[in-house]
Structure 1
Amino acid sequence: MAGTFTTRTITMATGATETMHDLTNACSAFLREAAHGRNGLLHVFTPHPTSGLAIIETGAGSDDDLLAALRGVLPADDRWGDRHGSPGHGSGHVLPALVPPHATLPVVDGELELGASQSVVLVNTDQDGPERQVRLSFLG
């Protein structure tokens, strides 16, 4: 039997500050419609040069810790060669080298297989873009 491929783009408001947006529920809802109980892979991708995707525990402080670590490694100041946009915007263009814009995750019996307390999150440090898109694709 040949595999199937289903894809959908979701859009979310990210505002004008650094943020982490939990995508886990959106991924699960997409798989309920697309996977139909099958095994396969969920690929998550954001096409923005200042956003990335992480698999991380949320709600216990790890999400805030990640944003603090990124501020330390990628401070939003004038050291960056990329100077378009708001001051410090260039740091966001380095973000995808540290937090990649994609993740591929296992799907077993139509459900996302994450570890205990893991969530799929969009990491966005850009203050110039009020919304972001994420493409969810199931191959099974």
Structure 2
Amino acid sequence: MGTARFDVETDARLDVSDVTDRVADAVDDAAGTDADACTVFVRHTTAGVVCNENERRLLSDIEELLASAVPDEGWSHDELDGNADSHLRALLLGNSVTVPLADGELDLGTWQSLLLVECDGPRTRTVSVVTH
């Protein structure tokens, strides 16, 4: 079992970044070939991690879905810091995903990628990869 971390710079309030290659590198750094799985965890309450296809139009659709599903305004938490929508969008996504490993490599399907979904950017996000 091992842990590795990396940072991701996001560019917009809602932004989807493919982190698959960086996760694969982190798995190499953390585990070797003994681990059976890895958990990818974003250490923030206004970002999420998902497994889906990295296709330009779909990434745009993900951003649009989140924007339309959770309105920007009208939430109680906005009285504190104006980002309740970001917390609620991240809640829908989840902050981690677990991926099986085969011979020390990510065992993803043909069209699967690991995506960091920023909901309160632009920011620097820290992603942890734990092999187990």
2:97 aligned to which of 89, 103, 106: 103
TM-score, normalization by structure 1? 0.85
Paired residues of 1:22 and 1:120 also in contact (CA < 8 A): yes
* Uncovered stretches (5+) of structure 2, i.e. residues with no partner: none
**Higher helix proportion:** 2
5 Å matches for 1:39-54? 39-54=35-50
**1:32 aligns to what SS in structure 2?**
helix
One-letter amino acid matched to 1:25: D
Give the TM-score, by structure 2 length: 0.90
Query: Number of residue pairs matched?
Result: 131
Where does residue 134 of structure 1 map in the other structure? Answer: 127
In the alignment, is residue 37 of structure 1 matched against residue 30 of structure 2? no
**The residue matched to 2:75 in structure 1 has which SS?**
coil
Shift in CA distance, 97/17, structure 1 to aligned 2, threshold 3 Å: closer
User: Aligned-residue CA RMSD in angstroms?
Assistant: 1.6
Correspondence 1:22-33 to 2 at 5 A:
22-33=18-29
Structure-2 separation of matches of 1:111 and 1:36: 9
For 2:33 and 2:9, the matched residues in 1 are separated by 30
% identity of equivalent residues: 26
Name structure 1 gaps, 5 residues minimum.
Answer: none
Is 1:124 aligned with 2:126?
no
Aligned AA (2:87) = H
Q: Which amino acid aligns with 1:138?
A: T
